Amino acid sequence: MRRDVFQAIADPTRRAILLLIAAQAMTPNALAEHFDTTRQAVSKHLRILTECELVKQDHNGREIYYRLEVTKMKEIDKWLDQFRKLWESRFNELDNVLLTIKNDKK
Amino acid sequence: MRRDVFQAIADPTRRAILLLIAAQAMTPNALAEHFDTTRQAVSKHLRILTECELVKQDHNGREIYYRLEVTKMKEIDKWLDQFRKLWESRFNELDNVLLTIKNDKK
DNA sequence: AATATAAGCAACTAATTGGTTGCACAAAAG
DNA sequence: CTTTTGTGCAACCAATTAGTTGCTTATATT
């Protein structure tokens, strides 16, 4: 099972779920009300999000509250870090041109 | 065609391509050498990356150099911004507990 | 104890995905 | 002008995905 964070956030419904529970932990039923699908479909998304540890469960009787696991979200941020220097540099465009020219000479 | 940035970076090969061309613009052939697949497969990935505007082409004779479009990468960063405040706050964990309790009372 | 509610799991299905091979076309090299 | 090289595109295929319906289990409610 290839459950990585990037594959998890690829689905728009899952991104919406993450946003919702970021504001407030919710049960599958409560979440399902926000979408045009069945509760089972939402449940499946939650399973995927749980498997890659983007969300955690808080059991409360027969209800299960899903909450965002912020730590895992940082993983995406960490990946972005590799590119961040590129857009923080105002010479970004120029760099690319120079690299292309250099490559041409070979 | 549902070509959004998140779906594009879901594939590990595409993420690797982005990293490679971030360092230096490259042709499909040059890129394919880095992977265990055919040139056509890489070409397909490049098409997807082009469609969602994560990469741009620089034509040079019959060669096509693909370079990273940093602007589009910022879109992911912008999405992350919605969550960033959560992990920048040291009270994050506590917040979630309080929100859950609040929800219980209803 | 009987019923209603919350949630997970399994089987099935349609659509999408990542890969392949084969072909077409344009530009460079002989 | 013919051949080689770089690339894109289409057709096909196996695997995965997102969704469905139906069932089971566990906790509340009456």
Q: What is the pLDDT of residue A87?
A: 83
For residue B83, the chain A residues in CB contact (below 8 A) are 18, 22, 68, 70, 73
Instruction: Collapse the DSSP code of B1 into the 3-class scheme (helix H, G, I; strand E, B; otherwise coil) and give the result.
Output: coil
Q: Answer whether A22's CB lies under 8 Å from B86's CB.
A: yes
User: What percent of chain A has a predicted confidence (pLDDT) above 90?
Assistant: 76
All structural domains of chain B, each given as residue ranges with its CATH number in brackets, are: 5-72 (1.10.10.10)
ipTM (interface predicted TM): 0.84
Give residue-wise pLDDT tens across range A9-46.
999 999 999 999 999 999 999 999 999 999 999 999 99
Contact B73 A87 (CB under 8 A): yes
> CB–CB of B10 and A6 under 8 A?
yes
The strand ranges marked E within A27-106 are 55-60, 63-68
Which residues of chain B lie closer than 8 angstroms to A77, CB-CB? Answer: 80, 84
Tell me if chain A has a CB within 8 Å of the CB of B86: yes
Among A103, A104, A105, A106, the strongest candidate for a mutation testing the B interface, having the largest count of B CBs within 10 A, is A103
What pLDDT, on the 0 to 100 scale, is given for residue A105?
Answer: 43
What pLDDT score does A3 carry?
82
Answer yes or no: are the C-beta atoms of A71 and B87 closer than 8 Å: yes
Look at the block and give the residue holding tokens 């479909």: A41
Query: CA at A61, C1' at D27: how many angstroms apart?
Result: 6
pLDDT of residue A85 exceeding 80, the answer is yes
Helix (H) or strand (E) run with residue B67 in it: strand B63-68
Q: Would you call B10 and A10 a contact, using CB atoms and an 8 Å cutoff?
A: yes
pLDDT per residue of chain B (106 residues) written in tens, 0 to 9 = 558 999 999 999 999 999 999 999 999 999 999 999 999 999 999 999 999 999 999 999 999 999 999 999 999 999 999 999 888 875 555 555 555 555 544 3
**Nearest partner of A42 among A29, A53, A54, A55, judged by Cα:** A29
* In chain A, % of residues over pLDDT 70: 82
Could you tell me if B79 lies within 8 Å of chain A, comparing CB atoms? yes
